[in-house]
Amino acid sequence: MKTTVPDTQEIADVLEKIAQLLELHGENPFKIRAYHHAARSLERLSEPLQVLVEEKRLGAVEGIGKAIEEKIVELVTTGRLAYYEELRSHFPPSLFELFEIQGLGAKKIRLLYEELHIDSIDDLEKGCLSGQVALLPGLGEKSATNFLKAIAFYRRHVGKFRLDQATLLADFLITDLRAHPAVGQCQPAGSLRRRKESIGDLDLLVSSKDPEAVNSFFLKHPLVSEILMQGPTKSSVYLKNEEGESGLQCDLRVVKPEEFPFALLYFTGSKEHNIRLRSRALESGWSLNEYAFTPQRDASTPPPVHSEKELYAALKLDFIPPELREDRGEIAAAALNKLPKLVEWTELKGTFHCHTKASDGENTLQEMSEAAEELGLEYLGIADHSKSSVQAHGLHEKELLVQIQEIRQRNQENKKIHLFAGSECDILKDGSLDFSNEILSQLDYVVASVHSSFTLDEAAMTQRIIRAMENPYVTMIGHLTGRLLFSREPYALNIPAILDAAAATKTLIELNANPRRLDLDWRWWSLAKEKGVLCVINPDAHSTSGLQHLRFGIDIARKGGLTKEDIFNTASLKNIQTALQKKRS
DNA sequence: GCCGTTTTCGGCCCGACTGTTTTCAGTCG
């Protein structure tokens, strides 16, 4: 373990590892869940862990009791945890990777380790091929074959699928399913419906009086590459990817029409959200499953339910939009009628941070303008790269001034959509900007972004961005953490400190809607809102089709609990022009 | 291990499918 103080995420990871180790040790499942739960609680703390430890308030965090509090304190103060080290000493660290293999859980991993000394994915593969795995009690030829398939799948798809990729596949399937005569209602569920940034598998839900017909239609669908499991109500397949190989996993559930709202709620999740709802149902004496409420002995009769809304109402809750169902306080808020009224797509009036051919975009200013108009936007901001982004053909001062002139000219000629002249100006290593204030002052707005020196330490990177925000011409910070989903980690950054500075300097924080980024992450937006920081949803469009990414931006804003009022570009053109001047004056 | 208008013990969400089994354990969501 590192000698420096571990950060909150690292501590949450240790708690998760403890949970896995306890599973391997065959511990009480509720104890295991307690560690999972505590890890999740840590991940959504709204204040620094260090402060909670110093003020001895950790025990007040839900899911953290005396025992786990002591362990966290030990980790924070010494950087080590004797309990964890003791647990770990019984198993090699490589064993953890076996949990990633579909069909393998703690019991079988332990069996494989104790009987065959298998402690890695490579070992498991060898054991399956040699026939040894099939000889173990409780396992057989079929298990070994399935492990080999699962290993191959894991190697092809370490990581997950992006929201846009999963959405595209789901749209195809749902369109075809809805056209089938035996299909009543058909909805996506799972993390796709909750609009998470990454999707592990696709969950589709259908209501039908003829489940067999639906299942057989689904299993023969041209997008299906391989059948994993098939039952009367549930089947599971791999879908074809671009190369025609097995890609995303897709589960189809077929239920009776009257069961649909229960099943939709259940399969939408999240798991933690469902667990809470079931506990809440039990308070009324009803057991809740994916089909119905079942009153326990002496309990009152549950009301009839025809929709998710009625289902929540039966539990004395406001309807909770799927995006919020992550067990982050939404149930308590729904009980008190305090859920936010989430922003809607139709409330978005314009956007900033779009590129053209002048730097690294694919389309001209005119084409971008027309596409935005078609999308129904009132205004569009053009922000091509600045000169330091050589790889992206960043504009030099002279080229930028020409572009500003062109934009002013277009606004004279076309009154249907207003164009704003901006720049995505590099934040240099020391926090200064790529253009002088004299140049910046001629623009309508500035998106300041980091495109270099990603490896600065947290303090330096934080200071770098804060310095940029202190510039009166910097309107907003682009893709704050620089993450690229599944390919680049966010750079080290003290996000609460950045949000404080954003509030103090009246700088907007971008929600970059490009599905590879979705940055800033949705988990931070409630804190941003609390601190009074405004969000601006930008597509970072490098083509006309890139403007469509705005929809994912709305998804993530909703997931972050943001309302129309929390988002800068829900303002009309009339109001936005004065708002853009606000920081400068 | 956590939690409490049933409060310091005794609960803790619930069901489908698979593979290896002759009645069920393990895994998954």
Q: Identify the CATH number of the domain in which residue A202 sits.
A: 3.30.460.10
The distance (Å) linking the CA of A62 with the C1' of B2 is 9
Q: How many domains does chain A have?
A: 5
With cut-offs at 50, 70 and 90, classify the pLDDT of residue A447. Answer: very high
Rounded mean pLDDT, A195-220 = 92
The distance (Å) linking the CA of A284 with the C1' of B8 is 25
Whether the per-residue pLDDT at A309 is higher than 60: the answer is yes
Tell me if A400 is assigned to some domain.
yes
The two structure tokens encoding residue A470: 């202190």
Q: Is A193 left (phi over 0), alpha (psi -120 to 50) or beta?
A: alpha
Q: Where are the alpha helices (DSSP H) in A330-377?
A: 330-335, 365-374
Same domain, A353 and A456: yes
Contact, A251 CB vs strand B, < 7 Å: yes
Q: Looking at residue A33, which CATH number applies to its domain?
A: 1.10.150.110
Q: Looking at residue A284, which CATH number applies to its domain?
A: 3.30.210.10
- Comparing A144-153, A185-194, A240-249, A466-475, the range with the smallest average pLDDT is A240-249
Alpha-carbon span A318 to A398, nearest angstrom? 56
Rounded mean pLDDT, A535-547 = 96
Alpha-carbon span A495 to A462, nearest angstrom? 8
Q: Which residue has the higher pLDDT, A571 or A160?
A: A571
Helix (H) or strand (E) holding A512: strand A508-512
The two structure tokens encoding residue A362: 């694919």
Same domain, A514 and A428: yes
* Tokens 């590129």, located at residue: A355
Same domain, A250 and A283: no
Same domain, A287 and A176: no
What's the domain range around A99?
93-156
What's the pLDDT tens digit per position in A105-125?
Answer: 899 999 999 899 999 999 999
Neighbour-count burial for A433-459, b at 16+ CB within 10 Å, e otherwise: bbbeeebbeebbbbbbbbbeeeebeee
Contact, A298 CB vs strand B, < 7 Å: no
Whether the per-residue pLDDT at A1 is higher than 50: the answer is no
Same domain, A72 and A204: no
With cut-offs at 50, 70 and 90, classify the pLDDT of residue A419. Answer: very high
CB A554 within 8 A of CB A345: yes
Per-residue pLDDT at A2 = 36
Q: Provide Rg for chain A, Cα atoms.
A: 26
- Comparing A148-157, A209-218, A254-263, A337-346, the range with the smallest average pLDDT is A148-157
Contact, A188 CB vs strand B, < 7 Å: no
Helix (H) or strand (E) holding A254: strand A246-255
Cβ burial of A522 (10 Å; 0-12, 13-18, 19+) is: buried
With cut-offs at 50, 70 and 90, classify the pLDDT of residue A245. Answer: low
Per-residue pLDDT at A485 = 87
Same domain, A535 and A409: yes
What's the pLDDT tens digit per position in A249-303?
Answer: 899 999 999 999 999 999 999 988 998 898 888 888 888 988 999 887 777 888 9
Same domain, A305 and A362: no
Per-residue pLDDT at A509 = 98
Tell me if A2 is assigned to some domain.
no
Contact, A297 CB vs strand B, < 7 Å: no
The distance (Å) linking the CA of A67 with the C1' of B7 is 19
Contact, A139 CB vs strand B, < 7 Å: yes
Per-residue pLDDT at A79 = 87
Per-residue pLDDT at A552 = 97
Per-residue pLDDT at A246 = 62
Q: What is the mean pLDDT of chain A?
A: 91
The two structure tokens encoding residue A525: 């937006």
Tell me if A411 is assigned to some domain.
yes
Rounded mean pLDDT, A417-430 = 96
Tell me if A451 is assigned to some domain.
yes
> SS3 of A235, please?
strand
Rounded mean pLDDT, A528-534 = 96
Same domain, A573 and A528: yes
pLDDT > 90 fraction of chain A, expressed in percent and rounded: 66
With cut-offs at 50, 70 and 90, classify the pLDDT of residue A427. Answer: very high
Q: Which strands make up the sheet holding A186-189, listed edge to edge?
A: A186-189, A201-207, A246-255, A234-240, A224-230
- DSSP bridge partners of A169: none
Tell me if A501 is assigned to some domain.
yes
Tell me if A1 is assigned to some domain.
no
Which letter does DSSP use for residue A143 in this model? H
Same domain, A48 and A136: no
Whether the per-residue pLDDT at A3 is higher than 60: the answer is no
Same domain, A284 and A371: no
pLDDT > 70 fraction of chain A, expressed in percent and rounded: 98
Whether the per-residue pLDDT at A47 is higher than 60: the answer is yes
CB A468 within 8 A of CB A474: yes
Boundary (domain end) residue, out of A230, A255, A280 = A255
- Comparing A37-41, A188-192, A202-206, A365-369, the range with the smallest average pLDDT is A37-41
Contact, A104 CB vs strand B, < 7 Å: yes
The distance (Å) linking the CA of A536 with the C1' of B25 is 51
Boundary (domain end) residue, out of A137, A156, A175 = A156
- The full DSSP string for A474-498 is --EESSTT--BTTTBPPPP--HHHH
Contact, A532 CB vs strand B, < 7 Å: no
Per-residue pLDDT at A229 = 87
> SS3 of A269, please?
coil
Cβ burial of A60 (10 Å; 0-12, 13-18, 19+) is: exposed
Tell me if A3 is assigned to some domain.
no
The distance (Å) linking the CA of A332 with the C1' of B18 is 38
Q: Which nucleotides of B are covered by protein (CB under 7 A)?
A: 1-3, 6, 11-21, 25-29
Per-residue pLDDT at A187 = 95
The two structure tokens encoding residue A185: 């209602």
CB A183 within 8 A of CB A143: no
Which protein residue has its CA closest to C1' of B29?
A: A271
The two structure tokens encoding residue A562: 């943001």
The distance (Å) linking the CA of A351 with the C1' of B28 is 42
Tell me if A232 is assigned to some domain.
yes
Boundary (domain end) residue, out of A313, A335, A357 = A335
Alpha-carbon span A506 to A582, nearest angstrom? 8
Which protein residue has its CA closest to C1' of B25?
A: A138
Same domain, A464 and A318: no
Same domain, A516 and A575: yes
CB A324 within 8 A of CB A332: no
Alpha-carbon span A85 to A536, nearest angstrom? 45
- DSSP bridge partners of A419: A380
| Rounded alpha-carbon distances, angstroms, from residue A413 to A399, A408, A444 | 21, 9, 18
Alpha-carbon span A187 to A483, nearest angstrom? 31
- DSSP bridge partners of A386: A395
**HSE-up of A358 (CA within 13 Å, CB side)?**
29
